Amino acid sequence: VVRGVGGSPGKRLSTEAPLPVLLALELLESVLAGQQLSTFTMPDLTVALRDAVCPVIVRRLRGSPDFVEAVRLYRIVGVLIGRWSREVPDECEVFLSILVEAFEAAGDVASGDWRLALPIEVVQETVRHPEAVDALLDLESRTRTVTINGVLE
């Protein structure tokens, strides 16, 4: 699925054509949002998130996606921040900086620009989950400690 998001054909797919990017994004969101998944039941999932999934999502978000792709990418970012921030804190910090960049680039709230609406939806969804807010606060305090002490913990 991650290869499909990146535009490459998947290894285990029996088709000759690559998996359409939008379908791959939908599948990825479904897998990550699954309630039954955790890094305790699937320890390799954290490694896959860190090494494959998050870099592809960052690359596609920074590549000026169109509206349809951006909706799916931001939904995945919301799931990653909301449910996986303790497992991939550094990657979620990158996603938060992308959200801030999107706020700054979008301009006026009254303009109705979807480039602003999508990141706002991610933030709105994130604050609905107390565990996600706790993880983000932990991340912020870790970042502050690094800045104050000048070293990584």
Two tokens, residue 139: 């991340």
Residue bearing tokens 């991340």:
139
Q: Structure pTM? A: 0.75
Q: What is the pLDDT of residues 8-42, one digit of tens each?
A: 555 555 556 777 889 989 988 988 887 555 555 66
Instruction: For tokens 């379908």, name the residue.
Output: 23
- Which amino acid is residue 11, in one-letter code? K
Q: Which band of pLDDT confidence, cut at 50, 70 and 90, is reported for residue 59?
A: very high
Please give the pLDDT value at position 153.
Answer: 40
Of the segments 1-5, 14-18, 89-93, which one has the largest average pLDDT value? 89-93
Whether residue 69 contacts residue 119, with contact meaning beta carbons closer than 8 Å, is answered with: no
How many residues make up the chain in this entry? 153
**Whole-angstrom distance between the N-terminal and C-terminal Cα of the chain?**
34
Whether the CB-CB separation of 5 and 57 falls below 8 Å is answered with yes
Beta carbons of 92 and 139 less than 8 angstroms apart: yes
Spell 61-73 as b/e; 16+ CB within 10 A means b. Answer: beeebeeebbbbb
What sign for the dihedral angle of Cα 132, 94, 114, 60? negative
- How many C-beta neighbours within 10 Å does residue 29 have? 19
Inter-residue contact 18 to 7 (CB < 8 Å): yes
In sequence order, what E strands does 22-136 have? none
Report which listed range, 6-10, 38-42, 100-104, 146-150, is most confident: 100-104
